[in-house]
Structure formats: C-alpha cells, structure tokens
Structure 1
Amino acid sequence: MENLFPIIQNGVHNDPKKERYQRKPFIEANSLEVSLSHLQNGCIIPVFSKDNERTISHQEFIDITMIACSEALGGLMVEHPEIRVSHQIKGRTPNAIHKPVPELLESEKTIYYERMAFIARVPSIIETIGGNPITLTIGGVRSYNTENLYQKKSPEKFKVFIGFQNLVCCNLCVSSDGFIEEMKASNMEELFKKIYSFVESFQAEKQLVMMRQFSQYCLTDHQFAQFIGRCKLYQALPKMQKKLIPELSFNDSQFNTVVNDYYHDESFCKNELGDINLWKLYNLFTQANKSSYIDTFLQRNLNAIEITQGLVEALSSPVSKYDWFLS
C-alpha cells in the first residue's frame, strides 16, 4: 500500500511557464507558497503518538487528489498544483538536542506545516462567464490541528472541493455540490476511492448555469449600500434574530475590502451609473475571501456563492428569506 500512489511531481501537469494568464495566489492571509518537492524532501510526517502510526502526508493527499481527479475525468491532464501552507511546526534532530539555536545546522532542523491548502487546474475544461475565462479546478485543505495526534491512529479528516477558478483574478468558485467539509479516510486507498467518487459525481454544468445567472441581475448603488450596511449589522444582531437570517461568515474587514473594490477594482467595480451585476459582486466577495486563513477559506468561499444566490432570489421573488439584506 505504501507505493500504490507514487509521487507525480513530474507526472500529470503543465509547465507553469506556459500559462496564458498572470497567476495570482488563490489565498494570501498568513500563508506561504511552497513546492511539492519541499513537502516531499524538506518536511517530516507527523505520527499518532500512542502507536507511532504515520498520518497521510500533505504531499500524498495532493497526489491522491490529482490522480483521482484525472482518472474520474477520463484521463484529462491536471496542472501542477499551487500549494499554500501555514502554522509551521519546528523541531530538531536528536544529535542536536543540546545545541543553542544559533548553532543549529539546516540539516539538524525539522519542520512540518500544521495547515495546507492546494489547487490544481484542469485546463482542457474552460468556460466564459461575464467575459471572464474560468477553468475547472480541484483542490483541498488539510489541517493537522483537527486530528488527535496524541491518541492511536483513527480516520483522518480532509476537505476536498471541485469547482472553477476565475483566471482573471484567480478567485475560486465553490458551490455546495462541489465541496465536502469533512471527508474521513483511514488509508490512502480509501481516500482515493472517496475522492474519485466525489469528482465523478460532480455536475459542472449545474454550477455554470447558476453562475451565469448572476450576470443577469444587478444591484443599484442604493441597494449595494443597503446590502453592505445590513452585512455590517449582521454580526451585532441578537442571537435569536440572527437565527432567522441566512448565515453570513465574512468579517468586517472583508466587507471593507468589498466596498473599496466596488469603487476601484479594475475588473469588478461598479459601472458609471453605480450599478453592479451579481457576477461582479460575487467576485468581490471571493476576492475579499483571500484574506481568510486556510482553515476557514473554503467555508467562506461557499458562503459567497450562497449569499449571491440569495440576492438573486431576493431580486426575483416577492418573498425571500434574503429580503432582510436589501430591506
């Protein structure tokens, strides 16, 4: 089982130098971009302390996801992954146990990353919405802090998604049908089977139809101001009242980013009349979401599409649970 899924750093991927669009990070806050080879060769693998059973490593999770995606899509090529990490855990080798920190050699230091997120594009599946090219994208998040590493080995938790990436801004577009918040697996074979089944069942056209609909609806300058005002009120609402309103998981600084980009973003700002269509508003939210930490990034990305769908409902239906945001 150890060699069932070989490392594919030189396998199914494109040459990043051949990308047609300028690549921007898909997430920025408190994270660092690393290579697959760094995870393979520069990081140790945590274990469950009571039985010394190793965890599924970050690089194995990435490899399994990419292979499962390629096979589920009939052998389509998957590009080289973009990997972001945070919360570095440092250690040292036994021979350096008594050395002062300034005297430690690089070979005597050990590290691994508690949290990791990655994406990989499927470049042959590309569509256009609102004049923006979007491509099918697979990815996932792994957080060791959700595992009890002080006990015996147990099923490990992973977050997996398949959706689209806007190539203009590299914002991710994730829907509820394309996101599993907690996928549990005890070994790599089980993880592969679950990811394969998940990717195979994903209905890409359903998400595309939904997102194309966003371009057909607009908020006026007044409605946008009303919406943002309600969003800022949301966190201060009494608990009982908040339960009656759809969830909003973005924070105040992210709403400030949305407002700033409403006026100044080159691709998604308002028009000369102050109107903004919901496709652009959706991208303002996914852009602001790049400031989220790895462990909340996917949930907020999903919330962005839920809120935008809710605005469509509020604008097109006489009665909607999202009316509060525009009233």
Structure 2
Amino acid sequence: MKKNQKQLAVSKTEAEATNMVIESTGNELIIAPDEMGNHPNFIESNTSAITLEELTNKNIIPTFCDNTLTISHQNFIGAVSKVAEQIFGELTPVECRVSHPIIGRVPSAQNKKASELREDEKTVFYQRLAWVAHARNLTNTINGQTVNLCIGGVRAYNEDKLYRPQTPMKFKIFVGWKVRVCSNLCLTCDGFSGTIECMTEADIMQKALELFSGFNPRKEETLGLLENLQSTEISEELFCKIIGRLRLYQFLPVNEQKALPSLNIGDQAVNTMVKGYVSNPNFGKKEGEIITCWNLLQLANEAVKSSYIDTWLDRNRNCTDFALGIQQAIEGNDTEGYSWFLN
C-alpha cells in the first residue's frame, strides 16, 4: 500500500474489529489514514509508542513508600476518557507515547545474563506518559487544514513524591483542536488544566468534567480565534525580526524578561522554527506567498514537539499565546508587550 495514499478502504469486518470507522460506502468503510497510525506523532522527543493493551498488561504500577498504590497510567486514561465521551461523544482509540522506562527483572532471574531473560522475567514501568484521543464527530477545517477536537493528558511519576506515604498525584489534562496533517495541537488557556493534584480517579474525573464543561460551549469560538490567525501576514523581514528577538529573549536579565510576555520557546525550538520556515511543506514559505500568524503558530508547535513529555503541554499552550500576541501587536492592539518582538 502506498504511503501517500490519502484513504484506505478496508472490509467492514476489519474496520469494526479495529474500532476505526469513519464513513461507509456500500460494503466498504473509508478510514482516514491518521486513525490507522499512519500520521506524524503528536509529540516526538525521546518518546516511543505503546498500545493501551501493552500499558495495561506489561507496565507495572509503582507504589508510595507505604506500599499504597498510585493511580496507574491506564486508569488515568480511562477516567478522563469516560468524562470526555459524556461531553463530546464517541472517541477514537487512544494514542499513547511514553518515555523514561524503568527496567528491571524478577528476583528469580537476578543471576541471569540479559540475553537469557525470558519476557515473563522482565519488568518495566514508564515514568512519563502522554496520550490523546479524538472526538469522532467533531471535525472542522481551519485555513484549508482538517482539524479534530482532541482530548488527552500527561502524567510524570517524577513529579510525584513516591518516597513518602501517599500524597496527591499530579496530572495534566487538555482539550483543543489538532491539525490532522501534522498532528500539531493548538492548545489555548481555556483548554488546559495546568497541573492538577488528585488522590483518586474520582478526583481526576471531577477535574476533567470542570475543564471539558467549560471548554465545550466555547469550542467554536476557539476555532474562530485560531482561524483568524490566517488573516494577519508576516513578511520575511518581520519573521527574521521575530526570530532574532526570540533568540535575544533567552539571554535577557531576569528582571527584563519579567517585563515581557512569558516565553517557553527555547533556542533549540527557535532553530527548528527557522528550519521549518525554509523546508516545512505545509506551513513554510512558498514562492510568491507570505506566511501568516497561522503559519507562525504551526512552526512553533512543530518545534516544541521535541520537548520532554512533562514540559510539552505548557510549551504548546505558550506557542498559541505567542502567535495570538504577535497578531495583536501587528494589528496595533497589543496590550501585553508583544510589540517588543517586532522592533
């Protein structure tokens, strides 16, 4: 099957078995390639893909020092997904990315060579997890690009104090629009929980309900806000000024940085933005065309996909704030100091 094929036709039985139905035509179902896993990852960095089944069956669950069980990755996903389905309807299968594996072995295999270990003698848990799922019936178009409403979360065990008796555990939950062609998430403040502390799955569900219920009435407004970014052009000269200021920002004294909008886009991400401006086929410069604030947002989002899992969401939301702020500055409506990046 060709990689550049836009749609895959599969039998009805096969599609139902994999739970990936989008639309039917006669005896065949047409499946969007991103639901078949044939699309860019929503985060890169040092992460690897893992199925929910593997996470459930092979990932051991850490405990606190008093042997109190932590909330497992899969239970975190299940709690948020249950609430999301109540608010947004049916979800697509969950995509999971994990990093920082803690690998071990059972005591009976302590004297074996690594090459001699059987699968049932190996243990692993993944310290960090990011996951996403799409609302099947909430798809739209922004500036010619298909976007899906996306929900998900992040969990990093390194933020939990496992060396103590049970304490609240930290999670992050989000909902926002994700661009299908590049899997870039466009996260806004009203779709991001920040760090939440929970003791039980019921706590997670309550926090998710508050976030999703607040975002749901404004999802079309958020879509319009993102779509409007296309109306503000950025010349190559202006883009170079913005990049220069982004580099300068990293080295400003702390007191000067505090007087400017908060920025989490590091120097490596700025380099990636420049590379994307030249070579990104979807959002980079094209002959005879000028990029817009929408392109700027996607170049920044693409760049921060190389962040570690525990910093990715904060940086992604910061990219949206930055693009919206630059738009306001270009249009002469700046009230937060983004004009500094244009001068």
Query: Same fold, TM exceeding 0.5?
Result: yes
Amino acid at match of 2:339: D
Deviation for aligned residue 1:154: 1.4
Aligned equivalents of 1:38 and 1:266: distance in 2?
35
Instruction: State whether structure 2 residue 41 is matched by structure 1 residue 28.
Output: no
Q: 1:62 — aligned with what?
A: 77
Aligned equivalents of 2:61 and 2:73: distance in 1?
9
Deviation for aligned residue 1:12: 11
Tell me the SS of whatever aligns to 1:78: coil
Q: 1:3 — aligned with what?
A: none
Instruction: State whether structure 2 residue 161 is matched by structure 1 residue 145.
Output: no
How do 1:86-165 and structure 2 match up within 5 A?
A: 86-165=99-178
Aligned equivalents of 1:131 and 1:56: distance in 2?
41
How many residues are matched?
A: 315
Deviation for aligned residue 1:199: 1.0
Contact 1:79 1:120 in 2 (8 A): yes
Tell me the SS of whatever aligns to 1:80: coil
Question: Structure 1: where are the runs of 5+ without partners?
Answer: 1-9
How do 1:142-291 and structure 2 match up within 5 A?
A: 142-202=155-215, 203-273=218-288, 275-291=290-306
Aligned equivalents of 2:318 and 2:32: distance in 1?
29
Deviation for aligned residue 1:295: 1.0
Aligned equivalents of 1:12 and 1:207: distance in 2?
32
Q: 1:7 — aligned with what?
A: none
Deviation for aligned residue 1:319: 5.1
Amino acid at match of 2:20: N
Amino acid at match of 2:74: Q
Aligned equivalents of 1:155 and 1:83: distance in 2?
23
Instruction: State whether structure 2 residue 318 is matched by structure 1 residue 312.
Output: no
TM-score norm. by structure 2 comes to: 0.87
Tell me the SS of whatever aligns to 1:24: coil
Deviation for aligned residue 1:63: 1.2
Q: 2:9 — aligned with what?
A: none
Contact 2:190 2:214 in 1 (8 A): no
Contact 1:84 1:117 in 2 (8 A): yes
Q: 2:92 — aligned with what?
A: 79
Residues 287, 318 of structure 1: alpha-carbon distance in 2 compared, 3 angstrom cutoff: closer
TM-score norm. by structure 1 comes to: 0.91
Deviation for aligned residue 1:274: 5.8
Q: 1:296 — aligned with what?
A: 311
Aligned equivalents of 1:126 and 1:15: distance in 2?
14
Aligned equivalents of 1:252 and 1:140: distance in 2?
26
* Identical-pair percentage: 36
Greater shift in the superposed pair: 84-93 or 238-247: 238-247
Contact 2:92 2:133 in 1 (8 A): yes
Contact 1:64 1:191 in 2 (8 A): yes
Deviation for aligned residue 1:13: 5.3
Select the residue among 55, 63, 69 that pairs with 1:47: 63
Aligned equivalents of 1:204 and 1:247: distance in 2?
25
Deviation for aligned residue 1:15: 5.4
Deviation for aligned residue 1:272: 2.9
Contact 1:92 1:110 in 2 (8 A): yes
Instruction: State whether structure 2 residue 336 is matched by structure 1 residue 323.
Output: no
Aligned equivalents of 2:269 and 2:254: distance in 1?
22
Aligned equivalents of 2:207 and 2:254: distance in 1?
37
Contact 1:12 1:78 in 2 (8 A): no
Q: 2:5 — aligned with what?
A: none
Please provide the CA RMSD for this pair: 1.9
Contact 2:133 2:152 in 1 (8 A): yes
Aligned equivalents of 2:82 and 2:106: distance in 1?
33
Deviation for aligned residue 1:18: 2.2
